[in-house]
């Protein structure tokens, strides 16, 4: 009898403990979105709204019309296959031609998405939702002095600064992914637009398939605590200094002190004095709504906000085998020096 009572008491204690643990887990889950998983944001929507489109949300038919006039890295959608004149000879395209870089690919190797971005079931004509016109509110006279070096133009044409290794774009040197895939302000690009999110009690890790970038974000109890634990400003990391917290069912990540080397080649240019605030909310079992707001008085007339979605993906996450540091660098620089010598001798 005594043994039976002990067994009953033990069973009740275990049941109570499991109930408390379950309630605690439920409470934590209700306060923060469950983001762990593999996701993709591949889409043909662009940051800004096309000139001939006057609204954010479009119908399926209107979305197809926009796609018909959309280019991917300078070429119309679906036209990456090499042309007959390029396949009939061994000669590469001429330097400076629009297809110089892209004809190294065909449609098998790219995956920019096949439709406009869908957010909460709606097709979007731009990622920007504020200002309402879907355009970036650039200052007419920015106070930050920088030269915008467009990696896409250099890649497509083969024309660019080849004065030394540091003149090459960060993505060409395999230091960061191109197209702002890792953000902050994360957007898909020509391929490898897959992400793995991992949550623990203390961190959120966002692994990016493109160039296997990884953002490791510490999580704090609230915004005040997160802002009180910033790194020294002298530590200018790639992707900036990110701190996160949970608020109203969302993961909030605030990033400051972004490495200034990113500014000239980013889809979301920002100075070290600016700030980007990202918000992740779970819309459904298969969709995370992702919104980011950019604030920088040095470059923009007002804060501006973009919104897109991450959709569940079966994966897998592929290794991005970029040639680290670019093993072709000696050939690129040697070719540039040869061209300079030839031009000097003319």
Rounded to whole angstroms, the Cα distance separating 237 from 276 reads: 15
| Residues 127 and 307 sit within 8 Å (Cβ to Cβ) | yes
Rounded to whole angstroms, the Cα distance separating 205 from 239 reads: 13
Return the SS3 of 81.
coil
Q: What is residue 15's predicted lDDT score, i.e. its pLDDT?
A: 40
Map 134-198 to HEC letters: CCCCECCCCCCCCCCCCHHHHHHHCCCCCCCHHHCCCCCCCCCCHHHCCCCCCCCCCCCCEEEEE
Tell me the Cα Rg of the chain.
24
Task: Kindly list the distances between the CA atom of residue 325 and the CA atoms of 38, 261, 309, in Å, as whole numbers in the listed order.
Answer: 28, 16, 32
Q: What is residue 75's predicted lDDT score, i.e. its pLDDT?
A: 61
- pLDDT bin (cut points 50, 70, 90) of residue 198 is very high
Q: What is residue 157's predicted lDDT score, i.e. its pLDDT?
A: 67
Q: What is the reported pTM?
A: 0.83
Average pLDDT over residues 80-94: 54
Return the SS3 of 312.
strand
Q: Report pLDDT digits (tens) over 44-85.
A: 999 999 999 999 999 999 999 999 888 776 566 666 555 545
The residue with greater pLDDT, 281 or 81, is 281
The residue with greater pLDDT, 104 or 144, is 144
Q: What is residue 196's predicted lDDT score, i.e. its pLDDT?
A: 96
Average pLDDT over residues 236-254: 95
Return the SS3 of 44.
coil
Average pLDDT over residues 16-39: 58
Place of tokens 């709504």: 289
Q: What is residue 8's predicted lDDT score, i.e. its pLDDT?
A: 42
Q: Report pLDDT digits (tens) over 201-231.
A: 999 999 999 988 899 999 999 999 999 999 9
């Amino acid at each position: 009898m005594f043994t039976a009572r002990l067994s009953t008491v033990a069973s009740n204690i275990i049941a109570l403990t499991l109930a408390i643990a379950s309630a605690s887990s439920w409470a934590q889950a209700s306060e923060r979105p469950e983001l762990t998983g593999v996701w993709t944001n591949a889409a043909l929507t662009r940051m800004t709204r096309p000139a001939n489109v006057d609204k954010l949300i479009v119908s399926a038919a209107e979305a197809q019309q926009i796609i018909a006039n959309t280019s991917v890295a300078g070429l119309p959608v679906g036209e990456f296959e090499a042309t007959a004149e390029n396949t009939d000879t061994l000669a590469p395209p001429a330097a400076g031609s629009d297809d110089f870089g892209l004809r190294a690919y065909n449609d098998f190797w790219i995956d920019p998405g096949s439709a406009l971005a869908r957010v909460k079931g709606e097709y979007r004509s731009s990622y920007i939702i504020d200002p309402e016109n879907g355009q970036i509110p650039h200052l007419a006279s920015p106070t930050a002095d920088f030269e915008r070096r467009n990696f896409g133009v250099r890649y497509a044409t083969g024309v660019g600064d080849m004065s030394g290794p540091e003149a090459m774009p960060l993505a060409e040197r395999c230091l960061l992914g191109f197209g702002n895939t890792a953000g902050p302000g994360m957007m898909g690009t020509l391929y490898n637009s897959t992400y793995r999110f991992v949550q623990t009690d203390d961190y959120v890790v966002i692994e990016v398939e493109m160039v296997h970038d990884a953002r490791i974000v510490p999580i704090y109890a609230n915004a005040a605590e997160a802002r009180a634990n910033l790194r020294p400003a002298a530590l200018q990391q790639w992707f900036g200094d990110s701190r996160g917290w949970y608020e109203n069912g969302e993961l909030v990540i605030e990033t400051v002190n972004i490495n200034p080397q990113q500014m000239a080649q980013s889809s979301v240019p920002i100075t070290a004095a600016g700030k980007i605030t990202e918000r992740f909310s779970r819309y459904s079992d298969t969709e995370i709504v992702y919104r980011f707001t950019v604030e920088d008085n040095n470059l923009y007339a007002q804060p501006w906000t973009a919104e897109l979605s991450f959709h569940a993906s079966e994966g897998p996450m592929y290794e991005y085998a970029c040639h680290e540091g670019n093993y072709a660098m000696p050939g690129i620089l040697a070719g540039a020096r040869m061209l300079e010598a030839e031009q000097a001798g003319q």
